[in-house]
Amino acid sequence: MLGGFIIPAIPSLSMPPTLYEEALLLHEEHRGKIEVRGKVPVRNRHDLSVAYTPGVAEVARRIAGDPDLAYRYTLKANTVCVVTDGSAVLGLGDVGAYAAIPVMEGKALLFRDFAGIDAFPICFASKDGDLVAQIKNIAPVFGGINLEDISAPRCFAIEAALQDIGIPVMHDDQHGTAVIVLAALINACRVQKKSMADLKIVISGAGAAGTAIARLLKCVGVSDQICIPVYDIIVCDRLGIIHRGRRDILSIPHKYLIAHETNHENRIGTLADALVGADAFIGVSAPGLVTPAMIRSMAKNPIVFAMANPVPEILPEEAKAGGAMIVGTGRSDYHNQINNVLAFPGIFRGALDARAERITDKMKIAAAHAIAEYVKHPTKEYILPSVIDRGVTRAVAVAVAEAWKRSAEGEKYI
């Protein structure tokens, strides 16, 4: 037993291992999933003198005179820090820094495998200290910062406070998820021959992901010429529909913003009430919240993205039984897997290639369109590329780099 979670026993020889048991065996065998390797040989005294002392002193002197040369002479240009405090790890919750290591290490592995980026996990043990200051203090080594599995509402303030450090910083649970959802919606609308602006969308979950999805779909901070705003969005949390009359949200800034940026008719009620007549459901909340009857109350042939993991808000077969036309989950054993790996490697690859100082909303929207356009002929069972298609990363990287370059040529950051 660890933190309330039962660790599966090592399988017997007579039975094939489960996925969880296989994961335990893999991690034990390799003692983790990443390692640090040198790029240059150290075979003799000369090699040592050039790679380390005394030769390296000249490199240090040059960088001391011009810190920007760190991009030329060190690992900084191609290195991302994956940072967490362990407060919102996967579906496990606040399991702490040690338990977060294998998850952050896995993220680092995906950066390397999909985008050729060297990434390293940094898991802070304390949530009481100034995480912003700690990240700023280690930032000189890295070309980008990927914030990960940090609970709301702290994640919003932390990300905002790090936007002025001269390298791209993105909380993937917010923006990577929002980018993938936008891409999936673009292609779902292509299949249904609908305009996204006309959709009535219900989002279940008002944490990091739900807030970012709502704001990106509303084009908050981005002009209508860059993205198509969805007018009718309702966001629900544990207490039901978020509306301007709820006194409990007055002390919760991100929910207060949601109340004023969405739900223009100021509807009240439960998630079930919100879904009546809706065209699309986006779930980033908890398992089993939606029933087939609730799907039947939606508009004809609705879109259902039930992304709670590992058990979604409603299983795809149940959603389809309720009349859903297009269904996506976060799981790999169903069609239309909505997974951040389609976004974050390419977003950071493009940002690093362009020497971007931050990741703007224009770059996120460019990434979403690149992912959507990668699927030339979407169908109801195929609205997103395969999560293991490395070509997606390249397409996203090009689009993101171009978006930064356009914004850097005179436009303000957005």
Residues with a catalytic annotation lie at 52, 107
Q: What is the C-alpha separation between 31 and 51, in angstroms, rounded?
A: 28
Identify whether the C-beta of residue 254 lies closer than 8 Å to the C-beta of residue 215. Answer: no
Q: Which amino acid is at 397?
A: A
Under DSSP, is residue 358 helix (H, G, I), strand (E, B) or coil?
coil
Q: Find the radius of gyration of the CA atoms of the chain.
A: 22
Under DSSP, is residue 90 helix (H, G, I), strand (E, B) or coil?
coil
Q: What is the C-alpha separation between 59 and 79, in angstroms, rounded?
A: 19
Identify whether the C-beta of residue 170 lies closer than 8 Å to the C-beta of residue 146. Answer: yes
Alpha-carbon dihedral sign for residues 11, 13, 14, 17: positive
Q: What is the C-alpha separation between 208 and 271, in angstroms, rounded?
A: 19
Q: What is the C-alpha separation between 60 and 233, in angstroms, rounded?
A: 53
Residue in 275, 281, 71 with CA at minimum distance from that of residue 185: 281
Facing residues of 329 across strands?
Answer: 306, 337
Reduced DSSP (H G I as helix, E B as strand, rest coil) percent helix, strand, coil of the chain, to 5: 45, 10, 40
